[in-house]
Amino acid sequence: MFELLKQINTTVYLRGNWDDIFLEVLDNPEALDLNDPEDVYCGILAKYVFEHLDEQYLTQMREAPIATTVQINGLQIGLSHNTSIQNYGRNLVSDADTTNLDQLFNDQALDLAIYGHIHHQLMRYSHADQLILNPGSVGQPYSNYAAFQQDRRAQYAILEIDERGIVDVQFKKIDYDLQNEAKNVQYAAAPYADLYQRLILDDVNPIADVKALANYNQAHHYRQELQKFIQSQYKN
Protein backbone atom coordinates (compact mmCIF):
# COMPACT_ATOMS: atom_id res chain seq x y z
CA MET A 1 0.00 0.00 0.00
CA PHE A 2 2.75 2.47 0.88
CA GLU A 3 4.42 1.79 -2.47
CA LEU A 4 1.16 2.53 -4.29
CA LEU A 5 0.71 5.78 -2.39
CA LYS A 6 4.24 6.79 -3.36
CA GLN A 7 3.44 6.22 -7.02
CA ILE A 8 0.63 8.79 -6.96
CA ASN A 9 2.76 11.39 -5.13
CA THR A 10 0.71 11.39 -1.93
CA THR A 11 1.58 14.49 0.10
CA VAL A 12 -0.39 13.96 3.34
CA TYR A 13 -0.42 10.83 5.48
CA LEU A 14 -2.73 10.51 8.50
CA ARG A 15 -2.84 7.85 11.20
CA GLY A 16 -6.20 6.11 11.58
CA ASN A 17 -7.76 4.06 14.34
CA TRP A 18 -6.59 0.71 12.91
CA ASP A 19 -3.04 2.08 12.71
CA ASP A 20 -3.23 2.89 16.42
CA ILE A 21 -4.57 -0.58 17.22
CA PHE A 22 -1.62 -2.06 15.34
CA LEU A 23 0.89 0.15 17.17
CA GLU A 24 -0.76 -0.58 20.51
CA VAL A 25 -0.23 -4.31 19.98
CA LEU A 26 3.46 -3.68 19.30
CA ASP A 27 4.05 -1.15 22.07
CA ASN A 28 1.72 -2.39 24.80
CA PRO A 29 1.13 -6.12 24.20
CA GLU A 30 0.43 -6.77 27.88
CA ALA A 31 -2.84 -4.86 27.45
CA LEU A 32 -4.20 -7.60 25.18
CA ASP A 33 -6.73 -9.93 26.77
CA LEU A 34 -6.04 -13.39 25.35
CA ASN A 35 -9.47 -14.49 26.56
CA ASP A 36 -11.15 -11.83 24.43
CA PRO A 37 -11.71 -13.10 20.85
CA GLU A 38 -11.63 -9.57 19.45
CA ASP A 39 -8.30 -8.83 21.12
CA VAL A 40 -6.89 -12.05 19.68
CA TYR A 41 -8.25 -11.07 16.26
CA CYS A 42 -6.60 -7.65 16.39
CA GLY A 43 -3.38 -9.10 17.78
CA ILE A 44 -3.02 -11.75 15.09
CA LEU A 45 -3.70 -9.23 12.32
CA ALA A 46 -1.13 -6.87 13.85
CA LYS A 47 1.40 -9.70 14.02
CA TYR A 48 0.92 -10.42 10.31
CA VAL A 49 1.29 -6.77 9.33
CA PHE A 50 4.39 -6.38 11.52
CA GLU A 51 6.04 -9.39 9.90
CA HIS A 52 5.39 -8.02 6.39
CA LEU A 53 5.95 -4.28 6.91
CA ASP A 54 9.21 -2.59 5.98
CA GLU A 55 10.82 -0.75 8.89
CA GLN A 56 10.69 2.59 7.04
CA TYR A 57 6.91 2.35 6.77
CA LEU A 58 6.55 1.43 10.41
CA THR A 59 8.44 4.62 11.24
CA GLN A 60 6.25 6.59 8.84
CA MET A 61 3.14 5.22 10.49
CA ARG A 62 4.38 6.15 13.95
CA GLU A 63 5.22 9.68 12.86
CA ALA A 64 1.97 10.35 11.01
CA PRO A 65 -0.43 12.73 12.80
CA ILE A 66 -4.15 12.05 13.22
CA ALA A 67 -4.92 15.51 11.83
CA THR A 68 -3.26 18.33 9.94
CA THR A 69 -4.11 21.47 7.97
CA VAL A 70 -3.26 22.57 4.45
CA GLN A 71 -3.85 25.82 2.59
CA ILE A 72 -4.98 25.89 -1.03
CA ASN A 73 -5.63 29.21 -2.77
CA GLY A 74 -6.17 30.91 0.55
CA LEU A 75 -8.61 28.33 1.95
CA GLN A 76 -7.64 26.70 5.24
CA ILE A 77 -8.53 23.00 5.06
CA GLY A 78 -8.55 20.66 8.04
CA LEU A 79 -7.71 17.02 7.29
CA SER A 80 -8.34 14.34 9.90
CA HIS A 81 -9.17 10.69 10.25
CA ASN A 82 -11.95 11.44 12.74
CA THR A 83 -11.65 14.59 14.86
CA SER A 84 -8.38 16.45 15.34
CA ILE A 85 -7.92 14.95 18.82
CA GLN A 86 -9.52 11.49 18.53
CA ASN A 87 -9.25 9.09 15.60
CA TYR A 88 -11.90 6.61 16.76
CA GLY A 89 -15.54 6.56 17.89
CA ARG A 90 -18.97 7.14 16.38
CA ASN A 91 -19.42 10.83 17.13
CA LEU A 92 -19.11 11.84 13.46
CA VAL A 93 -21.38 9.28 11.78
CA SER A 94 -23.40 10.43 8.78
CA ASP A 95 -26.54 11.25 10.78
CA ALA A 96 -24.71 12.85 13.72
CA ASP A 97 -25.95 16.08 15.20
CA THR A 98 -24.33 19.13 13.65
CA THR A 99 -22.87 20.02 17.06
CA ASN A 100 -20.78 16.84 16.83
CA LEU A 101 -19.53 17.77 13.38
CA ASP A 102 -18.54 21.20 14.68
CA GLN A 103 -15.75 19.35 16.54
CA LEU A 104 -13.93 19.06 13.22
CA PHE A 105 -13.13 22.76 13.44
CA ASN A 106 -12.02 22.67 17.07
CA ASP A 107 -11.89 26.46 17.38
CA GLN A 108 -9.47 26.66 14.44
CA ALA A 109 -9.83 29.22 11.67
CA LEU A 110 -10.75 26.58 9.09
CA ASP A 111 -12.92 27.08 6.03
CA LEU A 112 -13.37 23.40 5.23
CA ALA A 113 -12.96 20.08 7.05
CA ILE A 114 -12.36 16.73 5.36
CA TYR A 115 -12.40 13.55 7.42
CA GLY A 116 -12.60 9.79 6.95
CA HIS A 117 -13.25 6.99 9.47
CA ILE A 118 -16.96 6.35 8.84
CA HIS A 119 -16.55 4.82 5.34
CA HIS A 120 -19.46 6.95 4.13
CA GLN A 121 -19.52 9.74 1.55
CA LEU A 122 -20.93 12.93 3.03
CA MET A 123 -21.32 16.65 2.48
CA ARG A 124 -22.68 18.79 5.28
CA TYR A 125 -22.14 22.19 6.92
CA SER A 126 -21.17 23.30 10.41
CA HIS A 127 -23.32 25.67 12.45
CA ALA A 128 -21.06 28.44 11.11
CA ASP A 129 -21.69 27.22 7.53
CA GLN A 130 -18.18 25.83 7.02
CA LEU A 131 -18.11 22.97 4.51
CA ILE A 132 -17.66 19.38 5.74
CA LEU A 133 -16.72 16.56 3.38
CA ASN A 134 -16.11 12.85 3.71
CA PRO A 135 -14.84 11.19 0.50
CA GLY A 136 -16.00 7.73 1.60
CA SER A 137 -13.92 4.58 1.56
CA VAL A 138 -11.85 2.93 -1.15
CA GLY A 139 -12.44 -0.37 0.67
CA GLN A 140 -15.49 -1.51 2.65
CA PRO A 141 -17.92 1.39 2.09
CA TYR A 142 -20.76 1.61 4.61
CA SER A 143 -24.35 2.80 4.58
CA ASN A 144 -27.18 2.42 7.09
CA TYR A 145 -29.55 2.13 4.15
CA ALA A 146 -29.71 -1.49 2.97
CA ALA A 147 -30.07 -0.75 -0.75
CA PHE A 148 -26.99 1.49 -0.74
CA GLN A 149 -24.98 -0.95 1.39
CA GLN A 150 -25.14 -3.44 -1.48
CA ASP A 151 -22.98 -1.11 -3.57
CA ARG A 152 -19.41 -2.25 -2.85
CA ARG A 153 -17.63 0.03 -5.33
CA ALA A 154 -14.59 2.00 -4.17
CA GLN A 155 -15.41 5.58 -3.17
CA TYR A 156 -13.47 8.82 -3.40
CA ALA A 157 -14.06 12.52 -3.96
CA ILE A 158 -12.59 15.25 -6.17
CA LEU A 159 -12.51 18.77 -4.78
CA GLU A 160 -11.81 21.63 -7.21
CA ILE A 161 -10.63 24.96 -5.82
CA ASP A 162 -9.73 28.08 -7.81
CA GLU A 163 -8.53 31.53 -6.76
CA ARG A 164 -12.06 32.54 -5.68
CA GLY A 165 -12.91 29.43 -3.67
CA ILE A 166 -14.57 26.07 -4.11
CA VAL A 167 -15.64 25.40 -7.69
CA ASP A 168 -16.90 21.84 -7.52
CA VAL A 169 -17.19 18.74 -5.34
CA GLN A 170 -17.59 15.39 -7.06
CA PHE A 171 -18.32 12.16 -5.23
CA LYS A 172 -17.08 9.24 -7.30
CA LYS A 173 -17.42 5.45 -7.27
CA ILE A 174 -15.45 2.94 -9.29
CA ASP A 175 -15.63 -0.83 -9.70
CA TYR A 176 -12.77 -3.05 -8.66
CA ASP A 177 -12.41 -6.83 -8.75
CA LEU A 178 -13.60 -8.06 -5.36
CA GLN A 179 -13.13 -11.70 -6.33
CA ASN A 180 -9.51 -11.00 -7.21
CA GLU A 181 -9.05 -9.11 -3.95
CA ALA A 182 -10.31 -12.17 -2.06
CA LYS A 183 -7.95 -14.44 -4.01
CA ASN A 184 -4.98 -12.17 -3.29
CA VAL A 185 -5.59 -12.42 0.45
CA GLN A 186 -5.79 -16.21 0.22
CA TYR A 187 -2.61 -16.28 -1.86
CA ALA A 188 -0.80 -14.14 0.72
CA ALA A 189 -1.75 -16.68 3.41
CA ALA A 190 -3.10 -13.87 5.56
CA PRO A 191 -4.86 -14.81 8.81
CA TYR A 192 -8.66 -14.73 8.74
CA ALA A 193 -8.52 -14.76 4.92
CA ASP A 194 -11.84 -16.56 4.55
CA LEU A 195 -13.49 -14.19 7.04
CA TYR A 196 -12.14 -11.24 5.07
CA GLN A 197 -13.56 -12.81 1.92
CA ARG A 198 -17.00 -12.97 3.53
CA LEU A 199 -16.61 -9.34 4.63
CA ILE A 200 -15.86 -7.90 1.20
CA LEU A 201 -18.10 -10.22 -0.82
CA ASP A 202 -21.06 -10.78 1.51
CA ASP A 203 -20.77 -7.85 3.96
CA VAL A 204 -20.45 -10.18 6.97
CA ASN A 205 -18.54 -8.49 9.80
CA PRO A 206 -16.00 -11.01 11.20
CA ILE A 207 -16.30 -9.70 14.76
CA ALA A 208 -20.09 -9.40 14.86
CA ASP A 209 -20.49 -12.95 16.19
CA VAL A 210 -18.06 -13.15 19.12
CA LYS A 211 -18.78 -16.82 19.83
CA ALA A 212 -18.09 -17.79 16.22
CA LEU A 213 -14.89 -15.75 16.30
CA ALA A 214 -13.79 -17.51 19.50
CA ASN A 215 -14.36 -20.89 17.86
CA TYR A 216 -12.41 -19.76 14.80
CA ASN A 217 -9.50 -18.60 16.96
CA GLN A 218 -9.48 -21.89 18.79
CA ALA A 219 -9.56 -23.95 15.59
CA HIS A 220 -6.56 -22.05 14.22
CA HIS A 221 -4.66 -21.94 17.54
CA TYR A 222 -4.48 -18.16 17.29
CA ARG A 223 -4.48 -17.59 21.03
CA GLN A 224 -1.33 -19.65 21.44
CA GLU A 225 0.26 -18.01 18.39
CA LEU A 226 -0.43 -14.55 19.76
CA GLN A 227 0.93 -15.51 23.18
CA LYS A 228 4.25 -16.55 21.60
CA PHE A 229 4.37 -13.29 19.65
CA ILE A 230 3.78 -11.24 22.80
CA GLN A 231 6.59 -13.10 24.56
CA SER A 232 8.93 -12.41 21.64
CA GLN A 233 8.06 -8.72 21.79
CA TYR A 234 9.03 -8.60 25.46
CA LYS A 235 12.41 -10.12 24.60
CA ASN A 236 12.99 -7.44 21.96
Measured distance CA(126)–CA(78) in Å, rounded? 13
Q: How many CB atoms lie within 10 A of CB 134?
A: 23
User: What region, left, alpha or beta, does residue 117 occupy, with left being phi > 0 and alpha being psi -120 to 50 degrees?
Assistant: left
Q: What is the pLDDT of residues 6-38, one digit of tens each?
A: 999 999 999 999 999 999 999 999 899 999 999
What mean pLDDT is predicted for residues 78-83?
97
**Of 122, 153, 159, which is closest to residue 139 (Cα–Cα)?**
153
Do the beta carbons of residue 33 and residue 39 sit within 8 Å? yes
Tell me, what's the pLDDT at 106?
83
**What's the mean pLDDT when you consider all of the chain?**
94
135: Cα separation from own chain's centroid? 12
pLDDT at 235: 66
Check if the beta carbon of residue 124 is closer than 8 Å to that of residue 98.
Answer: yes
The residue-averaged pLDDT of 29-53 equals 95
Q: Give the confidence band of 236 by pLDDT, cuts at 50, 70, 90.
A: low
* Pairing between β-strand 112-115 and β-strand 75-80 as defined by DSSP bridges: parallel
Q: Please give the DSSP secondary-structure letter assigned to residue 104.
A: G
Whole-structure pTM value: 0.93
Contact criterion met (CB below 8 Å) for 38 and 213 = yes
Asked whether the beta carbons of 191 and 223 are under 8 A apart, the reply is: no
pLDDT > 70: what percent of the chain? 99
Number of Cβ atoms within 10 Å of the Cβ of 27: 11
Stretch 90-102: mean pLDDT: 97
